[in-house]
Structure formats: C-alpha cells, structure tokens
Chains A and B, each alone.
Chain A
Amino acid sequence: MRGNAAMHDLVGPSTLDAVLDLLAADPGAWTPIAGGTELMVAFAAGRLAAPKLISLWGIPDLRKIEVTPQSIVIGGAATFIDLRRHAAIAAELPLLAKAASWIGSVANQGRATLGGNLVNGSPAADSSPALLAYDAEIELISLRGRRRVPYSEFHTGYKRNVLAADELLYAIHLSRRFAHHVQYLRKVGTRRAMAIAKVALGATALLDKGVIREIRLGAASVAPFPTRLLQTEAALLGQTITRDTIQSAQRALLAEVKPIDDIRSTSEYRRRVAVNLLDEFLLQLRREESQ
C-alpha cells in the first residue's frame, strides 16, 4: 500500500524554540523529520506510523558547524555534504569525512543528516563507527534544558536511544585531540555506493614506545546497535602489538560481537570479516609505530 500524504500532518516551524514548544506541549505525539531519507522511504511504502511530523529542515541553529579551541561541534541537522565540505572536519576528523562520503549517493548526502543517522539508530549506520572511535558526545535539548551523553551510551537497544519524548538531538561534540592518533575506518559492503554495511570498523589508538596507551574501537552491524568493542579494547590496552596480543584481541572480539544472519550477509561471514578488519588496523598501527 502506498502512503497517503493527506493522512499525515507535517508542520515546519521556523525556529528551534517553536519546535521545542510543540514537543513539550504534547510529548511523544510528534515525529521530527530532517532530510527525510529514512522516513520518506517508510512513508512511500505506506508504513510510516507517524500521524504528526515536525520538519527540522531549514532551522539554522540545527545546521551549524562550529570549531572551538577544543572541539568541533556539529549541529544535529547538518547534512553529510555539509560535513564533506567542511575544511576542519576533512583535516582533523578524516574518519568522519570518509564515512560522510560513503553515505548513499550525492543526492542522499545533500539531505541526510548526521543527527538523523544516529536517531534512526540502524545497527549498520555509516557514521557510527567513526563517532565511536572519536569518543563523540551527544548534546540533547528540550524546553527543560540541555544535557550531554557519551555517544557510546546513546543507543540502548535495537532502534532505541536515550532521547526523551520532548527532546531533540541538538549537536554532536567531537574533541580535536585525535590529530596524533593512528586512525582507521573500513566498511565492507556489496558495492561502494549505496550499500549498507555488512560490517564496519572504526578505530583510533595512541602508541607510546610501542605500547598502546589509548584505543577505541567502534563497530557497525555486529550487534543490535552500533557499539564500542570494550572487551577487545581491554585486551589491547597497555600491550605491545605482538602475535600473542593480536590473537587474544581476536578472541575477545569473537566473544563480544553478536552479528546476525540477514539478507545482506551471514553471522559467520561478519565475524570473520570483523576479525580481518581488526587485524588490518593492528598491522597499520604497528607499521606506523615503526616508521
């Protein structure tokens, strides 16, 4: 069954305050819609269960990208084209710039938003491994005020997150202290454009005299939501990269990932590829250390 536009109310307040007023007046009644690359697909297919929608498109506060001495702060409704065109993101957050270039196609990137990618909460979300590797913080806003949560705690289950019914994802905060970290991101999908990840891994690490002093691993399509690989990180932290370390990290990874069989791949294939991506990152780490 096709969607019927007359069955949905869509309003487009021109200010953030007006959006927050509506959300607060009737919490849970409204579904925010930004670039529509997810919700309009559901609408066209006749499976959009959202009688009342609020457009976030064209609210300047939500689309800002600000560079402060410590952080790059990206508005929730900044598009992936906005990210790709931003010089500081390209220079300092190459993993995020790379992920932005992988999202769908040019036409999708001009509409799809970083906040939308996170709120939608696909286990395969393209931006998530990079944001986990960069230890991003999410800023939420409502009439009650603002609060910040680590991105690694934002998702709470399959397509579930910490947003309250009257809250919006306001901004994504990224620290500028990763310039000297070794950084890695790879997505394995069916083709380069448009494909949803079978597995993706993002990583940042800091070595000191061969010892891993900091490491963050963010993975997509290995759990009900994008997730840090905390056990694998623990197996690597404080270690030098030896054959034994790599093997114990592989065992930790295989113990903590829970990929599924679906139309795009199998659990077994995803497990093997996840191990291969971890290996590739650790070899890159060792190579860059020895240079």
Chain B
Amino acid sequence: MTASTMTNSTQPPSAKPAPPAAPDIPARRAPAEPAVTFDVRHLNVWFSSNQVLDDISLQVPPKAVTAIIGPSGCGKSTFLRSLNRMHDLVPGARVQGSITLFGEDLYASHVDPTVVRRRVGMVFQKSNPFPTMSVAENVTVGLRLNGVRQKALLNERMERALRMAALWDEVKDRLHANALSLSGGQQQRLCIARALAIEPGVLLMDEPASALDPLATAKIEELILELKKQFTIVIVTHNMQQAARISGFTAFLYLGRLVEFDETAKIFTNPSNQQTEDYVTGRFG
C-alpha cells in the first residue's frame, strides 16, 4: 500500500485498548470539528471535448445532508463522482479546479485516489452487493481487501456497520447467507453498511432510493436522517420532495452550472433564482 499524506492515524484516547489500526484505514476522525467538509472551487469537468461541469464552486457543510437536484443530464452524478475521484477511471475525463476534503487537496499530484476513496464512501443507484459473497463477507470486503485480517476487528466493524445501516436485526441470523437472498431495500442497506464499514467521514449517494418501492425508500430516508448525525452526506436525487424531506442544504444544477445553493428550506419555499423557482414548481421548459 502506498503511504500517503491523506492517512489519518490519530486516535482519541479510549477506555479499553483499541485493536491496532490496519494500515491506511482511518481509525477515527480527528476530534476537532471542521467548518466545511468539501470546499469545491471552480470545478470544471470535461469528457473528451464535451464540457459537463462549468465553474462550480460550493462548500459542503459537515454532518448535514446536502442534496444535489436538477434535470437529467445536468451533471449531478458527474459532480458527485468528482468528489471521490471516480473520474480517474474514465478515459478521456479531465478535471480542473480544486476540491479539498477537510482541508486537504484531493487532486494533488501526490495523492493516491485509492486512499481518497477510502475516506469517501459511495452508494449507487442500483444496489450491487457482490454476488459471490455472503452478507457478512460483503460488509467486510472493504476492510479485508485492504489488509485487515483480525477476525475480532472485522466482526466488530461488521456489526457496527450493520447496526448503523438499520439492518442488523434483520440479518443477524443469516449473516452467512448469500447477499442476493435479501430484498431490494435490504440489499441497498447492505451496500450502505459496506460503505460505512471502512468508516469514511463522508457518504456520497447517487439516487440511492430511486430503484426501490415507497416503503423501502422511506426506510432509506429515515436511515439517512440518522446517519447525518455522524457523517457528512451528499445525495443526488431527482425527487424534489425527497430532497425537501431529508436535506438541510440543496444545490440546484442546470446544464453543468450551479444555479443556486442554499438552505433547503429557502430553496423550496422561496428560492432567490427564477430558474430554481421554475424547476422546483415543475414549470421548467
């Protein structure tokens, strides 16, 4: 594993001796509360010659849910994926501008994108638990494939992640069943647990409930409201009522530009920008 300045190796003092932290896995977040999680400045993204994001600047506040809304194709997912350097995997993608996470530049030349992705978890629209693994193996895969071997630590993290994802009670008796035996909503919560197990400080969610039925969606939204007490969450959604329900801050993107970014209450009761008003009341286009 490449050492990197991104590794956060401080641990707060605890009553019982904690097991030794595995290399490159952040053990705990730093005690001091940062004012801003992501500081995005003049972000531009191109796919080949096609500019997808145009000069976006905003600051994602910590321990809150920030929703990204906008019509299809406006660049919401592209923006989200630039927060954990997923565009590095796309040939022809070019990212310009600066994004800092807790003050550290994510795109600096010495930064290993793999390490970035361990600090920023991601949940996708279609739940994708690994099909050859059991529930338990899925949750701990991020830890195991990054070098963590101690069974006790793995089990502890697995239980904690499953509890945080509000899934423990439902699966604790079938931890070794294949992950695909769970229902759609449970699979999505399993993916959330999988992301949480590596203890990122941030969770990115790309339309996490859009493939689920209303009951499962409600559970996911409830979960997000719980999780925001501990994590910074950025969620892309095309459902404005969902954004109104669960987010504290909302950014409205259109054609790759940031039109408005403000507290959710303001965006949905009295937006400053006429375009935002038109989109939010459904009178767009």
A and B associate in one complex: no
